[in-house]
Amino acid sequence: MAARKNFEVIIIGGSYAGLSAALALGRSLKKVLIIDGGVRCNHQTPHAHNFITQDGVEPGVIAARARKDVLAYNTVNLIDDLAVAGEANEEGFIITTKSGAVYQAKKLICASGIKDMMPDIKGFSDCWGISVVHCPYCHGYELRNQKTAIMANGEKAFHLATLVHNLTDDLMIITGGVADFSQDQVASLDSKNIKIIEAELSEIAHENGHVKHAVLKDGQKLAVNAIYAAVPFTQNSDIALTLGCELTESGLLKVNGFQATNVKGIYACGDNTAMMRSIASAVYTGNLAGAMVNKALTFRE
């Protein structure tokens, strides 16, 4: 086994949540290692929104600024590597990376995010985060007044429709099959002139990620320029799961109000713990996780 390097805290994931947690810990003089695999979930999104002081800034710019701020604290270290395995021991946790390095820490923060599972629809992944989006708070203002579709069914579709109809008068729901709405929901959608299309998409025609029109499996073209989609996801890293951390019914890491998982010494923050996927939310949960880990370490000492 490679020689271990010891830290007080290892943070798996060096995006907004992980960096925010590291900042709180660095300012408390804790010895921290961030292991960053290098892929942000919003890497394709051109601009970040709904985050005060950073509205309209490129996500990569925000991440680079955050990394610079955090690494100004000399007790914080960051490596560009991928955490691939973890185990618990009497001292805390051992994390092994793709390069073969081995690290030991008393506490572990999982900020590795989630991976969206792209449907088998031509053009979908090319538009994801640009004009095919998941969140009206992050993207809705920029997509306002456009011909818009919601690609979902049932409660997810209805929930999105309640948020999006305020942003456009031209809205439809593409259910991908038989619609799954209650009579009251159908009446509500009808009252707002929201069309329900019980069909599947086969293609999203686009130019550099900007939707030009959508094509149904029967060949019909739909005049849309923006699409909201509720896609399934999986955890980016399974390390927390192998260490015994529980998931919620929706597949997120289960944490309490202090970002602690059910496994003592393991905390989690960011998109892998919260339905509210935004930079602002990630920064908040990361800051809280860092503060709570610092408190736990201080009490232990």
Does one domain contain both 145 and 167?
Answer: yes
Does one domain contain both 32 and 64?
Answer: yes
Average pLDDT score over residue span 126-132 = 94
Checking if the pLDDT of 225 tops 60, the result is: yes
- Closest by Cα among 95, 72, 98 to 19: 72
Average pLDDT score over residue span 210-236 = 95
Containing structural domain, residue 39: 4-116+232-300
- pTM check: above 0.85: yes
Q: What pLDDT score does 301 carry?
A: 62
Q: What pLDDT score does 46 carry?
A: 85
Checking if the pLDDT of 63 tops 70, the result is: yes
Q: In terms of pLDDT, which residue wins out, 16 or 2?
A: 16
Does one domain contain both 138 and 262?
Answer: no
Average pLDDT score over residue span 204-221 = 95
State the total domains in the chain: 2
Domain boundary among 210, 229, 248: 229
Checking if the pLDDT of 2 tops 80, the result is: no
Q: What pLDDT score does 230 carry?
A: 85
Does one domain contain both 200 and 217?
Answer: yes
Does one domain contain both 47 and 69?
Answer: yes
